[in-house]
Amino acid sequence: MPEVPSLVSLCIDTLARQLFLRDNDHDDDDDDDDGAVISVIYDLPFDLVNTLITRLPPFALLKFHLHMPFQDQIEEGFSHDELTNKRKRGRDWNLNTIWRNFFKLRWPHLIDQMQPADWLQAYWENHLQNCLDEAAEIALVPSFNGYLGNIQIPDTILKHIGFGERTNHSTCDHCKLSYHCLRFGSHASRLRLQNVLCTAETSDLLRECKLQILVLRCIRSKEQIDGLCKLLAQHSKTLTSLEFVHCTISADFINGLCGSMVTESVQRHGIQNFSIIASNFLEPCAVSLPSGLVSFLSSGRSLCSLKFSDSHLGRSFAKSLLVTILNHLPRISVLDLSDNRIGGWLYDVNRIFASRSNLCPGNGNSLQMLRVLNLRGNNLQKDDVENLRYALGHMPNLEELDISDNSIEDDGIRSLVPYFVGAAETCSHLSHLKFENCELSHDGVNNLLDALSTFKGPLKSLSIADNYLGSQVAGALGKFMSTPIEVLDVAGIGLGSSGFSELQDLIKEEVKLVKINISKNRGGMETLKFLSKLLSHAPRLVYVNAASNLLPIESLAIIFSTLKSYEGNLEHLDLSGHIWDYQQDRVSIDTEFVHNGKPRLILPLPSASIVPYDDDP
């Protein structure tokens, strides 16, 4: 028999329904009345108000939160002690935690990626993004020819915020995109817009926003460029980050961008992070840096991050970009030119540095502030790496270097070894290195590891994944693991059982590893023996990827036994990619091996759905 609700409970539910969800029954927005009503309720006994707010849906809680009577109360006759007591009550309710719980309930897959100071803002920002994404899906239908603001938000979204009880939304403003943009836009500082939303109407819909971060996708037509320019001009004073993905970059596009952000009255813009990713530069923009883009970048004295990735850019473009950086952008700390075609660019870089050194020694001839350089997938050869060695001398504060997916081979890596040897004797800032899929052999990598093993800088992570090195690299790798390295990726390097066996023997003292990826190495049971040894000598280890290592089904019982007695900090062990036909109770696994509500142990899918991993070179 269901529990009979108390009179207090019924009264509280009625208050929540009638006083806070009036927008569900009315199309007005009388904030003054809301504030007056909430102020009266706020003075009820603490336990009653506390019970009330725990039963409010997000929209009702927003009204309560925004009208909490903290402001101007000393002038209205409240003593300092009374006001302090009220604020303490607000802290006791911990509304930020309630908003976090709402966020987790609605977007559980995003909660670990978020660390906002204000969960109220995060909630309504993501809500508005969901509304815009739904509107874009509707507006993309060829037959759509109405106003964006009149697009109906589906019940699946409305019910999340408290509008789910009413069945007929067709005549209500709160069902329209315009209502959500204007009502919740003030909480949105970052948004992602599809091309179909880049219209003059969108600028009006988002007028309440104070956009700081804006991601634009698939901008191609003149109409979309014009709508984008109006939106950028409207938010030019607040925008700090612009990202364009899958866009067509033409001269009109660049000129419109510059004209929107840089006016005659304001010769500088406040963009700090600028990215163009997986886009198509039309001729002549693809050949060299367009003059409009030079003007835009030159006006960005606050620019600290530039990303031109996967856009088929050539050597001349990269050369012009470097000149612009050296001339106008002294604060650049992140430069990402990955997945382009800039082979030979590093030769140009050194010629530029040399000419500037001769003309103006010590002035403007280095990238003093550069911390991150990403040259992944740039068709670089071993000669390019020889030039990179000298270019790195002009980047004294470099912390992260990625030259993965370039066929630099052993000769290329040997060209860099003298740089690392020199860096080992100085106060180098290098902390993250990636040499994935560079067609290296054990000879070249052994030289690299020997140099890095004496490194005195704060080297924290290294990836040499997807180079077929074989078990011959195990000796140098074992010595390197005794350094303060924290993150190590050796996936798919062909260690085999003999390589894991040698690594196991080389672990004799505590290692500092926090994360390690040993997947795709065909180690069999020796993988498990190495892992057991590592767990006992790596107290800080939290993440292990040991997938696709040909572990037999017999290893499963050993793994269970090891983890049950394990007292370390391991949060994630990936054993997927094995063909195991096991009958272990998944419920017990999911409840026994859990960390913060997430499984610590990632097991293979049923054997019928597994495709064996093939890493034959």
Digit-coded pLDDT (tens) for 353-402: 888 765 554 455 568 899 999 999 999 998 899 999 989 988 989 999 99
The residues pairing with 463 across neighbouring beta strands, listed in sequence order, are 434, 489
Residue 499 has pLDDT above 80, yes or no: yes
Residue 445 has pLDDT above 90, yes or no: yes
What does the pLDDT average to over 230-239?
A: 93
Task: State how far the Cα of 389 lies from the Cα of 422, in Å rounded to an integer.
Answer: 11
Task: State how far the Cα of 46 lies from the Cα of 93, in Å rounded to an integer.
Answer: 9
**How deeply is 614 buried, as exposed, middle or buried, from its count of CB atoms within 10 A (0-12, 13-18, 19+)?**
exposed
Residues 6+ apart with CB under 8 A from 481: 488, 503, 506, 507, 511, 513
Residue 409 has pLDDT above 60, yes or no: yes
What does the pLDDT average to over 55-75?
A: 69
Residues 6+ apart with CB under 8 A from 258: 292, 293, 295, 296, 299
What does the pLDDT average to over 198-220?
A: 95
Helix (H, G, I), strand (E, B) or coil at 367: coil
Q: Measuring CA to CA, which residue among 514, 511, 510, 507 is closest to residue 530?
A: 507
Better-predicted residue by pLDDT, 59 or 76: 59
* pLDDT at residue 171, as a whole number: 54
Residue 247 has pLDDT above 90, yes or no: yes
Better-predicted residue by pLDDT, 218 or 42: 218
Digit-coded pLDDT (tens) for 501-532: 999 999 999 999 999 999 999 999 999 999 99
Q: Are 346 and 388 in contact (CB under 8 A)?
A: yes
One-character DSSP codes across 439-484:
---HHHHHHHHHHHHT--S---EEE-TT----GGGHHHHHHHTTSS
Indicate the range of 296-310, 478-492, 509-523, 584-598 predicted with least confidence.
584-598
Q: How far apart are the first and last CA of the chain?
A: 67
Task: State how far the Cα of 469 lies from the Cα of 2, in Å rounded to an integer.
Answer: 67
Where does the pLDDT of residue 72 fall: very low under 50, low under 70, confident under 90, or very high at 90 and above? very low
What is the residue-averaged pLDDT of the chain? 84
Residue 263 has pLDDT above 80, yes or no: no
Digit-coded pLDDT (tens) for 126-181: 999 999 999 999 999 999 988 999 999 999 999 999 886 544 445 577 899 999 99
* pLDDT at residue 606, as a whole number: 63
Task: State how far the Cα of 309 lies from the Cα of 320, in Å rounded to an integer.
Answer: 16
Digit-coded pLDDT (tens) for 271-301: 999 999 999 998 776 677 888 888 899 988 8
Which amino acid, 539? P
Q: What tokens were used for 315?
A: 């050597």
Helix (H, G, I), strand (E, B) or coil at 105: helix
Whether the upstream peptide bond of residue 284 has omega within 30° of 0, thus cis, is: yes
**DSSP state letter for 543:** E
* pLDDT at residue 18, as a whole number: 61
* pLDDT at residue 412, as a whole number: 94
**DSSP state letter for 606:** P
Task: State how far the Cα of 453 lies from the Cα of 480, in Å rounded to an integer.
Answer: 5
Where does the pLDDT of residue 405 fall: very low under 50, low under 70, confident under 90, or very high at 90 and above? very high
Q: Are 560 and 532 in contact (CB under 8 A)?
A: no
The residues pairing with 599 across neighbouring beta strands, listed in sequence order, are 594
Q: Are 413 and 440 in contact (CB under 8 A)?
A: yes
Q: Are 218 and 246 in contact (CB under 8 A)?
A: yes
The domain spans of the chain are 7-93
Answer whether 0.85 is exceeded by the pTM.
Answer: yes
Digit-coded pLDDT (tens) for 29-46: 455 556 566 666 767 777
Digit-coded pLDDT (tens) for 7-31: 767 776 776 666 555 554 444 445 5
Task: State how far the Cα of 470 lies from the Cα of 464, in Å rounded to an integer.
Answer: 12
The residues pairing with 216 across neighbouring beta strands, listed in sequence order, are 193, 244
Which amino acid, 435? F
Q: Measuring CA to CA, which residue among 253, 260, 258, 254 is closest to residue 222?
A: 253
Q: Are 174 and 24 in contact (CB under 8 A)?
A: yes
* pLDDT at residue 75, as a whole number: 34
Alpha carbon separation from 177 to 31, 85, 455 (Å, rounded): 20, 40, 57
Residue 212 has pLDDT above 90, yes or no: yes
Q: Are 609 and 603 in contact (CB under 8 A)?
A: no
Residues 6+ apart with CB under 8 A from 480: 449, 452, 453, 462
Residue 609 has pLDDT above 50, yes or no: no
* pLDDT at residue 474, as a whole number: 96
What does the pLDDT average to over 533-557?
A: 92
Task: State how far the Cα of 492 lies from the Cα of 465, in Å rounded to an integer.
Answer: 6
Q: Measuring CA to CA, which residue among 522, 528, 520 is closest to residue 492?
A: 520
Neighbours of 161 (CB within 10 A): 22
Task: State how far the Cα of 394 lies from the Cα of 386, in Å rounded to an integer.
Answer: 14
Task: State how far the Cα of 574 lies from the Cα of 552, in Å rounded to an integer.
Answer: 15
* pLDDT at residue 428, as a whole number: 78
